[in-house]
Amino acid sequence: MLDIKFIRENPEVVKENIKNKFQDEKLPLVDEVIELDKKIRELKLEGETLRASRNDLSKKIGQLMREKKVDEANQIKDTVNKNNARIAEIDPELEKLQAELNKKMLVIPNIIDKSVPIGKNDTENVENEKFGEPVVPSYEIPYHADIIARFNGLDKEASGRTSGNGFYYLVGDIARLHSAMLSYARDFMINKGFTYCIPPFMIHSDVVNGVMSFAEMENMMYKIEGEDLYLIGTSEHSMIGRFKGQIIKENELPLTLTSYSPCFRKEVGAHGIEERGIYRVHQFEKQEMIVICKPEDSMEWYNKMWSFTVEFFRSMDVPVRTLECCSGDLADLKVKSCDVEAWSPRQKKYFEVGSCSTLGDAQARRLGIRTKNENGTYLVHTLNNTVLATPRGLIAVLENNYNEDGSVNIPVALRPYMGGMEIIKPKN
């Protein structure tokens, strides 16, 4: 959410930003917000003036009563009563207008960074850099579900009976490899100096509204029926929510945190849920990194964060690239974002395994997260990035370490978490 003062003083900048995000239907909101803000400020001034007048008149009434000037005092009382009646009208009117203003403000997108390429959707995202040589072996790489099936490692038939489409059972060596990757991701980030956390997996609606746009919420979040609780789609939600309404000491910044959680997503949209594989599912596990910092440090942390994910996947022998998200592909709260994509030797193309974003002070403004120095309080910046989301990350490791005989090499970094195993061999 933008600062209302910024919108008031820079309406054309806000409108141009909306155009750059190809959301022209939101352009009228800028003028509507400015008009609502004007009415609110006028009403507040009127209310403050009336209250000041009431205080002065009350003092006069007391003085007149002491001087036995009852009739004059009663006339002033009539004025005070009229002021009180008007104040009683102003307060609910202000509350109504403020709610309307907030509703509109939440829909206006954040100002994107000048470096973000302008484009309508993800087809216009821009490749930044490749890391590692993408290899296509001379032998065929099977579909990931078929690789896993050779290890008796996937049971979607049973999960269909228990939970429906979009869920899965991982079994045996595959389940162990999946867990090994998460354990390695945890330790990888701890070794980078991040503090490990396990957050709540459900959050209240006010936290949901603080960390994401309404459109994202509708397409992602599962609500617990009859309760003000949502299942998290990523641990970023509860990790940022942890600091709701807090003033963090400036000398404690930056806060660098890494969190594990299961994640739950409706995955509403044209892409749909995979019938056979586990690339797009309703439930997965994730190691996330979150940074809360001073505004002047946020872009430096942004570049550090995506580079950590690149380093993590390269340590497992997975070639990756970074893809700059264009303006039309950015969620409304984001200032800048890039995807980390892993090489798929089967598809001969890259696919997304992580996303790094800086949100400026948008989440902090919505949730009231501030820091304080000698000049007073100010809003922090928040950033998030995927270390590992799996089973999608599992697919990348399986494909890039697959041998012609159906076995899979265990990357050196993962071997301590696999009991020293160097290779896993198919069961059938």
The pLDDT tens digits of the residues spanning 244-263 come to: 999 999 999 999 999 999 99
Statement to judge: residues 313 and 409 lie in one domain: yes
93 and 158 together in one domain: no
Note whether 174 and 275 are same-domain residues. Answer: yes
pLDDT at site 62 = 74
- pLDDT above 90 covers a percentage of the chain that reads 82
Q: What is the pLDDT of residue 272?
A: 60
C-alpha span between 245 and 253 (Å, rounded): 16
- Is 273's pLDDT higher than 70? no
Q: Is 405 helix (H, G, I), strand (E, B) or coil?
A: coil
State the Cα–Cα distance between residues 79 and 35, nearest whole angstrom.
31
In a domain, 420, yes or no: yes
State how far the Cα of 72 lies from the Cα of 69, in Å rounded to an integer: 6
Q: Which of these three, 80, 105, 130, is where a domain ends?
A: 105
Specify whether 180 is located in the same domain as 82: no
Measured CA to CA, the distance from residue 33 to residue 290 in angstroms comes to 32
Give the pLDDT score at 262.
96
For residue 292, pLDDT over 70 is answered with yes
Question: For residues 277 and 148, is the Cβ–Cβ distance under 8 A?
Answer: no
* Within-domain flag for 113: no
Q: Above 60 in pLDDT, residue 270?
A: no
- Pair (91, 144) in one structural domain: no
pLDDT score for 53:
83
* Structure-token pair, residue 417: 């978490």
* Residue 269, pLDDT score: 56
pLDDT in tens, 43-65: 999 888 888 887 777 777 777 77
Q: Is the pLDDT of residue 214 over 90?
A: no
Residue 342 has pLDDT above 80, yes or no: yes
Amino acid letter, 17: N
Q: How far apart are CA 73 and CA 60, in angstroms?
A: 8
**318 in any annotated domain:** yes
Domain boundary among 105, 140, 159: 105
Same domain for 91 and 177: no
- For tokens 């709610």, what's the residue? 99
Residues 148 and 72 in one domain: no
300: CB partners within 8 A, 6+ apart: none
Reported as type and span, the H/E element at residue 283 is strand 283-293
Mean pLDDT of the region 160-172: 94
**pLDDT exceeds cutoff 90 at 180:** yes
Region 199-219: mean pLDDT is: 87
Query: Is the CA virtual torsion 284, 261, 411, 322 positive or negative?
Result: positive
- pLDDT value at residue 76: 78
Q: Residue 276 — very low, low, confident or very high, per pLDDT cuts 50/70/90?
A: confident
Percent of the chain whose pLDDT exceeds 70: 98
CATH number of domain containing 96: 1.10.287.40
Check residue 268 and give its pLDDT: 60
DSSP state of 347: T
Neighbours of 349 (CB within 10 A): 10
Q: Is 111 helix (H, G, I), strand (E, B) or coil?
A: coil
Q: Note whether residue 110 is domain-resident.
A: no
Confidence check: pLDDT of 428 > 90: no
Q: What is the DSSP string of 189-235?
A: HHTTTPEEE---SEE-HHHHHHHS-HHHHHHHPEEPTTSS-EE-SSH
Whether residue 16 is found in the same domain as residue 98: yes
Domain ranges, residue 241: 122-424
- How many other CB atoms are found less than 10 A from the CB of residue 404? 10
Query: Could you give the angle at which helices 11-20 and 27-66 cross, rounded to 10 degrees?
Result: 150
Q: Is residue 306 part of a domain?
A: yes
Residue where a domain stops, chosen among 105, 138, 160: 105
Residue 410 has pLDDT above 80, yes or no: yes
Q: Residue 387 is part of a domain; what is its CATH number? A: 3.30.930.10
**Better-scored residue on pLDDT, 274 or 194:** 194
Residues 65-88 have pLDDT tens digits of 777 777 777 777 778 788 888 888
Quick check: is 116 in a domain? no
Dihedral, 407, 153, 266, 22 alpha carbons, nearest 10 = 0
Res. 232: pLDDT tops 60 = yes
Count: domains in the chain: 2
One domain, residues 157 and 101:
no
Mean pLDDT, rounded, of the chain: 93
> Is residue 371, in this structure, part of any structural domain at all?
yes
The mean pLDDT of 301-310, rounded to a whole number, is 98
Residues 368 and 394 in one domain: yes
| 8 and 43 assigned to the same domain | yes
**Could you give the dihedral angle defined by the CA atoms of residues 264, 358, 337 and 283, in that order, rounded to the nearest 10 degrees?**
-10
Residues 202 and 351 in one domain: yes
Q: Per-residue pLDDT tens for 13-40?
A: 999 999 999 999 999 999 999 999 999 9
Q: What is the mean pLDDT of residues 121-142?
A: 95
| 186 token code pair | 């945890």
- Give the pLDDT score at 274: 66
Whether residue 35 is contained in a domain is answered as: yes
